[in-house]
A and B are shown apart, each in its own frame.
Chain A
Amino acid sequence: MTALLAVEGLTKSFGGVRALDECSFEIAEGSVGALIGPNGSGKTTAFNVITGYQAADAGGLTFRGRAVRRPDPCRLQRLGLARTFQQPRVFPGLSALENVVLGRNQPWHALLRDRVPGPDRRRAEELLDEFGLAAHAHMPAGRLSYGQRKLLEFAGVLMAEPVLVLLDEPTAGVNPIMVKTMEDHIRRRHAQGVTFLIVAHEMQFVMSLCDPVIVLDHGRRIACGAPGEVQKDPRVLDAYLGD
């Protein structure tokens, strides 16, 4: 298996805070990776830098074998790298259906075609159905609950059939049943060949679903490996229990 995404020496500071410190890791094609670490260890920052929302101070990344010089969210998404946000982000004024349809990539010359063309509508309806949101298809997304917005955001990301999906805390703040639902969705997509990198705090969820597990602390990668190994690593215990 080759590395689908390789991150090399990523560094990012905010004023005096080093959010990422020479952070390197690889995600093999077809894996479900986990990115874990205590609060403020730089997980979200890693996602932001990888997807081009924030510019790195140093370091680089390779996606699908190509070096990405200046990551740009739009271009990366079109190459197959999609993400969700820690606080779910939907388009509150658009219907749930349109939220999902937006995920489909469009060439510039299709801009004047139908707002929601038939095939996209059917595909989006399937996705909404799969995520249990079919009943809300025509409701403005702003009126959905927190958990529903997380699901909707995930569904929208899948519309473009991405190769690699970065999920920032898909299980945070939702009830245990929803955690299970999320896990099922991830497993199903994984079986269809989608690669994942997931930030999560629920250890049970991580240990049962993910391999490899990458551990960050103070922006540095302190461990990386199979869940069993990482769990026993003394440095990981230190990081979580405090120094």
Chain B
Amino acid sequence: MTRPGPHSRIRPAGTIQAVAFVAVVAVLPLITGQHWLVSLLVFTVMYAGLASAWNLLGGYAGYPALGHGAFFGVGAYAMAIGTSHLGVGGGYRPFVLIVPIAVGTALVVLPIARLLLRTRAAAFAVLSITLMFMVQTLAYNIRSLTGGSSGLIVPLAPFPAAIFERPFYYAMAALLALTLAVCWVVRTSKLGLALNAVRDDEDRARGLGVQTELVKLVAFAVSAGLTAAFGAVWAYYITFLYPGFAIDPLLALGAILMAFLGGRRTLWGPVVGAALIGPAQQYFAYRFGASQLYLVAYAALFLLVIYLLPEGIVPSLARRLRRLRRASPAAATHDQVATDSIFSAGDLG
């Protein structure tokens, strides 16, 4: 299909959304010179990407993965070890490492994913978080490589102080764009359809000839690889790693919270969720300290989202929008198709 018709993958509305999003993300850090604000942006963009990457497996395929902290940590440690032990060099050079780290993690994770994906639902959730604890223990114990509990230092990047965060911000933003592009390709392809089928009824999907094993593996590996890429940039930015911090059980929970809040069956949901929670999370952490009332606020928010907005913001908005438009009869039929596919690509919940 060459002409963008109603059934084409590339729709004008989607293109406009994408261009507007890229423009906003590109301009945001230029508005302010305040370091703490830009730093907050870096983390928000990172979480938008992490939530979107998690969504590939947790949302589209419905596999409740709780251990993405493991992949993030692997990416972070790979970056730290690459820069400090392997002597890649400083400046912008470490960013080159992102590619082998992401691809490497995706490949290494395959045999483990095969094992984990033999289980489902609760058992999968349990095993995925168990895997994370295993990686954390390894990070504590292989001291020659990770420095154990005393941690590992990444050489400070030699960027000018006034715009120190910018290279990291743009690296995160580029990764976010890549992640969203991957999500978009998955959603609009047969892969996405197959993953949704797995989510709804995996056994029936098998009986219809869907290659469930293959699509689950792909989703798992890609999700893990992207998560590792974010970890790598984070390590270079934060410059100091220790196991409990780089391999954090709360990371997956944060991503899940954002995906749920925004709408885990949509493309933009995790981004919207991150835009709302990311800054709040940073603020709470600064305000109340690392692990006290911050956790309480976090948990309260989590429960509120699950009970009050189980479907997420984006689908709820989409429905309201559709209802409004249906009220004006002229626009009704055409826009029905448009809103359906913008927000849910036939993936109505």
Contacts and interface: CB of A to CB of B under 8 A. Distances in A.
B173 interface: no
A85 B204 CA distance: 9
B113 interface: no
B14 to A, nearest CB: 13
B200 A111 contact: no
Interface string A97-126: 110011101101011111110100100000
Nearest to A101: B193
Interface in B187-202: 187-194, 196-197, 199-201
- The binding surface of chain B is classed by DSSP as helix
B331 interface: no
B118 to A, nearest CB: 14
B7 A112 contact: no
B208 interface: yes
A212 interface: no
A53 to B, nearest CB: 7
Interface stretch (B32-40, B281-289, B339-347): B339-347
B190 A106 contact: yes
A112 B185 contact: yes
B96 interface: no
A23 interface: no
Given A93-B196, A98-B346, A105-B209, A115 B203 contact: no
B109 interface: no
A74 B346 contact: no
B214 A115 contact: no
Interface string B299-328: 000000000000000000000000000000
Interface residues on B, range: 35 or more
Contacts, number: 114
B196 A94 contact: yes
A114 B210 contact: no
Contacts of A51: 207
B128 interface: no
B90 to A, nearest CB: 38
Interface string B201-234: 1011111111110110010000000000000000
A156 interface: yes
B1 interface: yes
8 contacts: A77-B208, A77-B209, A97-B346, A101-B193, A102-B208, A115-B193, A116-B193, A160-B208
Given A91-B205, A105-B209, 15 more contacts: A73-B207, A74-B209, A74-B210, A77-B208, A78-B209, A83-B207, A89-B201, A92-B200, A94-B346, A98-B196, A102-B210, A108-B211, A114-B1, A138-B346, A160-B208
